[in-house]
Amino acid sequence: ETGVTQTPRHLVMGMTNKKSLKCEQHLGHNAMYWYKQSAKKPLELMFVYNFKEQTENNSVPSRFSPECPNSSHLFLHLHTLQPEDSALYLCASSQEGANYGYTFGSGTRLTVV
Amino acid sequence: GQNIGQPTEMTATEGAIVQINCTYQTSGFNGLFWYQQHAGEAPTFLSYNVLDGLEEKGRFSSFLSRSKGYSYLLLKELQMKDSASYLCAVRDQRGNAGKSTFGDGTTLTVKP
């Protein structure tokens, strides 16, 4: 148990579908992040939330829509995705002043068909 | 922007010592992290350096030279379970919302 829980673990969706990824952290952290990990590429930052306010949108296409209702929960709403969006989507959290980096969730393996 | 360089692959023998290097050129710096990621799993935090020098934690040590934009992760007494990808990441601003930029990762294979 990492303290950051992501659901679902695996998701297959068509290009016309709408789905949501969920992330929940049980660590009392006040920042949460979405990262994308594709094969042969480094982890790419997508969104940053600090005290449930979005502080970073790393030029992510609008077909990805984040939502952070409180400091413990983070969603990524998906619609009209493309096959190249297939990747591992990782949620992470961190704490102000901490020197132990991110705590990652197990990720959602997304396949767009 | 951020530019982080790591070797793509390394191979070492069980019981040996291996050093994984990371170089960075960043617009801001507020700490360098090393993570371990086993295949099919999430990255897990290994070490953090914000000041120059060596940080030791059991079999793993991490070194930082801010003037040279250079870090390394040293793994001693290698075990088979150390076969994984090792990610170098640089945080670019103060505060917990300071985002981290990751290198491509170094895939380490430990052989018997």
**For residues A26-32, average pLDDT:** 90
- Is residue B92 very low, low, confident or very high in pLDDT (cuts 50, 70, 90)? confident
* Cross-chain Cβ contact B97/A31 below 8 Å: yes
As given in the structure block, the two tokens for residue B39 are: 């295949």
Tell me, what's the pLDDT at B83? 98
- Please give, rounded to a whole number of angstroms, the shortest distance from the CA of B77 to a CA of chain A: 24
Handedness of CA B49, B50, B51, B52 (dihedral sign): positive
List the single residue in B42, B44, B104 with the smallest CB-CB distance to A107. Answer: B42
Q: Would you say residue B20 has pLDDT above 70? A: yes
Tell me, what's the pLDDT at B80? 97
- pLDDT of B26-68, one tens digit each? 878 889 999 999 988 899 999 999 999 999 999 999 999 999 9
Q: Would you say residue A10 has pLDDT above 60? A: yes
Contact B65, B57 (CB under 8 A): no
- pLDDT of B66-84, one tens digit each? 999 999 999 999 999 999 9
User: Touching check for A97 and chain B: CB below 8 Å?
Assistant: yes
Please give the Cα distance from B112 to A60 (Å, whole number).
Answer: 44
Please give the residue of chain B at the shortest CA–CA distance from A4.
B42
| DSSP of B48-102 | EE-SSEEEEETTEEEEEETTTTEEEEEE-S--GGG-EEEEEEEE-SSSTT--EEE
User: Touching check for A32 and chain B: CB below 8 Å?
Assistant: no
User: Touching check for A87 and chain B: CB below 8 Å?
Assistant: no
Q: Would you say residue B1 has pLDDT above 70? A: no
- pLDDT of A46-90, one tens digit each? 999 987 787 777 789 999 999 999 989 999 999 999 999 999 999
In percent, how much of chain B has pLDDT > 70?
94
